[in-house]
Chain A
Amino acid sequence: MANMDPIKVINDKCVGCTLCVKSCPFGAITMENKKALIDTTKCNLCGACVEVCKFDAIVIEKKEKEKIDFSLYKDVWVFAEQKKGKVQSIAFELLGKGRELADKLGVNLCAVLLGDKVEGSCKELIERGADKVYLVESPKLGAFQDDPYTKVLIELISKYKPEIVLCGATTIGRSLGSRVAVKLDSGLTADCTGLDIDPEEKILLQTRPAFGGNIMATIISPDNRPQMATVRHKVMQEADADPSRKGEIVKENYSDEIYTTRTRLIDVFEEIEGTINLAEADIIVSGGRGLGCADNFSMIKELALTLNAAVGASRSAVDADWIPYSHQVGQTGKTVCPKLYIACGISGQIQHLIGMKSSDVIVAINKDPEAPIFSVATYGIVDDLFKVVPLLTKHFKTMLKK
């Protein structure tokens, strides 16, 4: 059976350079008599070794798929998420990147908008770069529900055949995209931080962090259409609005059957206290164990309020019940990448760093000079946060004339 395995080392080509051994994320390659030997019980066929080998000595064989006619698939689509009729900023970020991809391919950029009485928002999407907006309106599409949204998006994609579909890596986008991709046999790459078009193959290159951001992977879906990706908040530049742009609105009507849903939305609650949501915030002020008690979070909140920022927290602050879980940043909380992240009294355990280290500017305030948070900080202050944070609030107020 061993020779049936999809991964093979071509011994004649292997020079024993050990590059593959170092590249393997699973520790599956060893050197035996100066030739690479792959332990197939550990190998996950990820392809890291194939890529790194300069001698083409490792191959992974994949059966040729029945080719579909790719020329039938055109255009770049962006799923324009709306809540209470308001298009979310992630949609503008997707339009920004989508425009670039569509121009490289020489195709149209289209937005898909599902909702109840949302036609007025089409203009906004066109101004931000959409050549076309596919609009489906129904009272049943007012708020997101898995079943009707999934069915409508599948119908639209099947009819108009886009080559690329982008969704936000939001709670809605991740739940919706996964189901649509399964139904359409499409490849879907989660949480992309980089998207580009391969200049020769004209396919989508999707780059995303893996292993908590310790490695980056570029992924393609060469044999299926559409190529689908979800994209992280705040990574792509928002498209600017140009009121003179013109575009087309394509309305689709469906019979009631498509809107049926097995789950039922009973109620919607907004609970983020005082400050806007973490995923969309440009600035986040976070507090950790160094705050000492729940009451001291008021200091963090005041600074956040001054900066119009969201309030974040480390796991230990949440576990101590100083602040609700919805504020937790890190591996078991939220992954954020704001323009500015201010960490107050957070030591910076790896699980926390995973969730915030891709922020543009990081400020760390901690009295322990050895705290790991300083390793990712753009600016660090080793001092007592109870002295520094109120002064920051004061100086920012002066600067912002508040």
Chain B
Amino acid sequence: MKIIVLVKQVPDTTDVKIDPVTNTLIREGVESVINPFDRYAIEEAIRIKERIVGSEVVVISMGPPQAIAALREAISLGCDNAILLSDRKFAGSDTWATSYTLAQAIKKLGDFLVILCGKQASDGDTAQVGPGVSMHLDIPQVTYVKKIEKIDAKGAIVERMTEEGYDVVETPFPALITVVKEINEPRLPSLKGKMRSKKAEISVWTAEDLACEDKNIGLDGSPTRVVKIFSPSPREGGQMLEGEPEETSKKLVDALKDVVIG
């Protein structure tokens, strides 16, 4: 039985800076990393594998050839196998086409128990690909999961985060689960894992391998289109309040009067 993890390689946002002159993203030295939320999905998948005898963790990513680095890292953390979905035909995919392509790969793999992914990617922030995959595969989903209370080969009882607290939800398998940071504390790669990741064979699947219909992938499979990209208007210059605490706190409260009383 396979436990599938979907990961995305994203720019390390701690490094994203805007060039004050050209107002564009500064790319030099920006490293690519595994989407931070997907790290929790990887860790949870490994923990599930440790609980369900005879299961293996397969990690899948869709992206350019260099995304293979993210998959090697996933293997160093304990994933058993990795597959990269890479084809120029996938370029320009929005969340519809991306979730279709990932679902095609999962269908090809078959025999899976559960699919895990982070609640969203840190570059696009859409939170749409996980749910999209579950719809393409017509399986149940539970999003924003912060804890797996109980799990076996038939299903799981999980805690789903809400705005006010959390819901306890039972789902049969196969299912798709998206996870939040609270679910676990990801481990670091082991030395053995690092050695293994260097040698691991990573399959690369193309549109043809996945029997994708051209009208459903890449630009043609994407209903949304970006028509404009611009820099957000910078914040108005702030005001520093100076003086003794008694004075500054009074000034601040006066300044905020309209906002607070509204």
Give the interface of A toward B (CB within 8 A): 1, 5-6, 22-23, 25-27, 40-48, 51, 60, 62-63, 65, 83, 143, 146-147, 150, 170-172, 174-175, 177-179, 181-183, 185-191, 205, 209-224, 262-272, 277-280, 282-283, 307, 325-326, 328, 331-333, 335, 339-340, 349-351, 354, 357, 360-363, 374-384, 387-388, 391-392, 394-396, 399-400
Cross-chain pairs A/B with CB under 8 angstroms, 8 sampled: A1-B88, A25-B25, A146-B140, A265-B167, A268-B165, A331-B122, A379-B238, A391-B250
Neighbouring A residues of B226 by C-beta, 8 Å? 46-48, 217-219
B residues contacting the other copy or chain, number (CB 8 A): 95
Q: How far is the CB of B99 from chain A (nearest CB, A)?
A: 6
Total contacts A-B at CB 8 Å: 315
CB proximity to A under 8 Å, residues B127-146:
127-132, 134-136, 140-144, 146
Contact A384 B260 (CB under 8 A): no
The interface residues of chain B, by DSSP majority, are classed as mixed
Measured between beta carbons, the chain A residues less than 8 angstroms from B257 are 399
Type the 1/0 row for B38-73, where 1 means its CB is closer than 8 Å to any CB of A: 000000000000000000000000001110000000
User: Closest CB of chain A to B257's CB: distance in Å?
Assistant: 7
| Given A214-B18, A351-B14, 9 additional A-B pairs, CB 8 A | A60-B92, A62-B220, A171-B162, A181-B132, A187-B224, A277-B164, A279-B163, A377-B238, A381-B248
Select B140's contact among A188, A263, A374, A394, beta carbons within 8 Å: A263
Residues of A within 8 A of B144 (CB): 171, 175
Q: Are B126 and A331 in contact (CB under 8 A)?
A: no
Residue from B122, B182, B230, B259 in contact with A216 in the complex, judged by beta carbons closer than 8 Å: B230
A63/B245 contact (C-beta < 8 A), A178-B95, A220-B224, A262-B172 known: no
Q: Of residues B170, B223, B228, B245, which shows the largest number of chain A Cβ atoms within 10 Å of its Cβ?
A: B223
CA distance A185 to B99 in the complex (A): 12
Query: Which residues does chain A contribute within 8 Å of B16, judged by CB atoms?
Result: 211-212, 214, 350
Q: Considering the complex, which residues of chain B in the window 1-54 have a beta carbon less than 8 Å from any beta carbon of chain A? A: 11, 13-14, 16, 18, 22, 24-25, 27, 36-37
Q: Does B240 interact with chain A (Cβ within 8 Å)?
A: yes
A188 engages B95 (CB within 8 Å): yes
Q: How far is the CA of A221 from the CA of B122 in the complex (A)?
A: 23
A266 lies within 8 A of B170 (CB): yes
B223→A214 contact, CB < 8 A: no
Within 8 Å CB of B180, what residues of A? Answer: 325
- The smallest beta-carbon distance between B153 and chain A, in angstroms, is 16
